[in-house]
Structure 1
Amino acid sequence: MRIIIVDDHTLLRSGLAAVAKLESDIEVVGEASNGLEAIELFRRLRPDIAVMDVTMPVMGGLEASSAILEEFPDAKILVMTQHEEQSFLDAILELDIAGCIGKRAAGEEFVSALRAVERGEFYLHPALARIALRSQRRNVVEPWETLTPREREILQEIVAGKKNAQIARDLYLSAKTVEWHRSNLMSKLDTHSVAELVSYAIAHNLAQDGGAEPIDRL
Structure 2
Amino acid sequence: MEEPVNVLLVDDHQVVLDGFLARLELEPQIHVVGTASNGVDAIEAVGRWHPDVVLMDVSMPIMNGIDATRVIKSNFPNVKVIMLTMHDNREYIIQVMQAGAVGYMLKEISAENMVQAIKTVFQGATYFCESVTQTLFTQPIPVAHHPANPLSRREESILKLVAIGHSSKKIASLLDISYRTVETHRQNIKHKLDLHSTAQLAKYAVENGLVD
TM-score relative to the length of structure 2: 0.63
Where in structure 2 are the equivalents of 1:51-130 lying within 5 Å? 51-130=55-134
Q: Deviations over 1:53-86 (max 9, x none)?
A: 0001111111111111111122200110122222
Aligned mates of 1:82, 1:19 — CA distance in 2? 17
Aligned residues: 140
**1:7 and 2:27 correspond:** no
- Post-superposition shift, 1:47? 0.4
Secondary structure of the equivalent of 2:117? helix
Where in structure 2 are the equivalents of 1:94-173 lying within 5 Å? 94-135=98-139, 137-139=140-142
Q: Deviations over 1:154-184 (max 9, x none)?
A: xxxxxxxxxxxxxxxxxxxxxxxxxxxxxxx
Name which one, 1 or 2, has greater alpha-carbon Rg: 1
Secondary structure of the equivalent of 2:60? coil
- Post-superposition shift, 1:140? 5.6
Whichever residue aligns with residue 77 of structure 2, its letter is: P
Displaced runs of 4+ in structure 1, greater than 6 A? none
- Post-superposition shift, 1:96? 2.2
Q: 5+ residue gaps in structure 1?
A: 142-218
Match of 1:165 in 2: none
Q: Which has the higher contact order (CA 8 A, sep 6+)?
A: 2
Match of 1:196 in 2: none
Against the structure 1 CA distance between its residues 53 and 140, is the aligned structure 2 distance closer, same or farther, given a 3 Å change threshold? same
Contact 2:93 2:104 in 1 (8 A): no
Contact 2:10 2:42 in 1 (8 A): yes
TM-score relative to the length of structure 1: 0.61
What RMSD over aligned residues (CA atoms) do the two structures have, in Å?
A: 1.3
Equivalent of 2:46, from 42, 47, 67?
A: 42
Whichever residue aligns with residue 67 of structure 2, its letter is: E
Aligned mates of 2:143, 2:109 — CA distance in 1? 31
Aligned mates of 1:140, 1:115 — CA distance in 2? 35
Match of 2:21 in 1: 17
Aligned mates of 2:22, 2:90 — CA distance in 1? 32
